[in-house]
Amino acid sequence: MADSTATSPGNIQAMVVGASDVVARRIKSVLGDLKGVDLAAEAKDGVDAVSRLRRRAIDVIFIDIGDTNAKLATDLSRLLKVDAHAQIVLVATLTFANVKNAMAGLVAGAAEFVQAPSRHTPHIAEAEFTRQIADLALALGRARRDKGQRVIAPPPAARFEHPTPKDLRKRRLHVPKAIAIASSTGGPQALLSLFNDLPREVVQPIFLTQHMPAGFTAALSDHIKRRTGWHCSEGKDGEAVKGGQIYMAPGDYHMTVRRAASGPVVATDQGPEESYCRPSAEPMMRGLIDVYGADNVLFVVLTGMGSDGKAGAKAVADGGGTVVVQDKETSVVWGMPGAVAAAGDCHAILPLSDIPGFIAQAARGK
């Protein structure tokens, strides 16, 4: 495969790894029609991809992990050695092996996973797949350039970033009854880091919405449990809420909380997508505010594209609760946290490494 020569230095430079008609061909088709993005390189496998990455600046890499030539762990390790800030998207159809490999890849350094349509998954629309690939190419391409030292003309992806934040809100000291976390692109790595460092003295229930398709959230919750020691599982409809437990929204379901005679219980539903997502953080936040009160909620917004959680953050901040967001420097994409910060609806903007300590202090009312 030859690299493209018709590229513009102001455009995002993308590479596709893999040769299958089912996935790689579709990605190339989307990128080829996308304004502001050049399909700068095509690689047949990981070895070829590393060679091409050494020769030219690539902003975002799409890997077909279902390709028979894919050796994901080795490929990711070598690509990240060449470029520690490489923005890598894993793409595959839904199979057990692909789910397992994708989760391992996300933990190892990939930024995102996209599920490709196939005859076995008719519910996955081609138009939605196209939108996800296009949005990720622009957003992650911009993020890569922001992290590098290259002097390149700004790409047309500003809609995924946000202006300088307004002044921080003044925080009211309180002991929250519930902790909520929202994350998306780059979230799996961020969550593992956060929970690994979060003191076990935090006794409040923790509700988590990570944008992922069905099947992946169970794998991620298991990773969190095994790697950090925190009790983490997908929330089950009607499950009693207990302190010190992480409840993760199941893929393709919104998760929230409702009142029951015995106390708060988890509620899940397949209501309409919000912010192009299901699960979405917005239903989760509405339920937590309804059951616990905005003044009793601590809301953490981590790395992710888009603005999911923005409305929930405003409601919490307006109601006397606490909102903290991850900073731009440590976020893979400063979309979700940036939207909250730009709106002036957070009390702190912190690097990922400082957020566990902030949560622990806030949980004690300090």
Q: Mind telling me the catalytic residues? A: 184, 211, 308
For 62, the 3-state DSSP assignment is strand
Question: What is the gyration radius of the CA atoms in the chain, in angstroms?
Answer: 20
Paired strand residues for 16: 42, 62
Three-state SS letters, 24-36: HHHHHHHHHCCCC
CA proximity to 326, closest of 308, 344, 346: 346
- Cis peptide bond N-terminal to 279, omega within 30: yes
- C-alpha distances in Å from residue 57, one per residue of 107, 150, 161, 167: 24, 9, 22, 36
**DSSP secondary-structure letter at 138?**
H
Number of neighbouring beta carbons within 10 Å of residue 100:
12
- C-alpha distances in Å from residue 26, one per residue of 32, 63, 76, 225: 10, 12, 22, 35
Strand pairing report for 348-350 and 112-115? unpaired
Strand order in the sheet with 37-43: 37-43, 12-17, 60-64, 87-92, 112-115
Distance from C-alpha of 265 to C-alpha of 53, rounded to nearest angstrom: 49
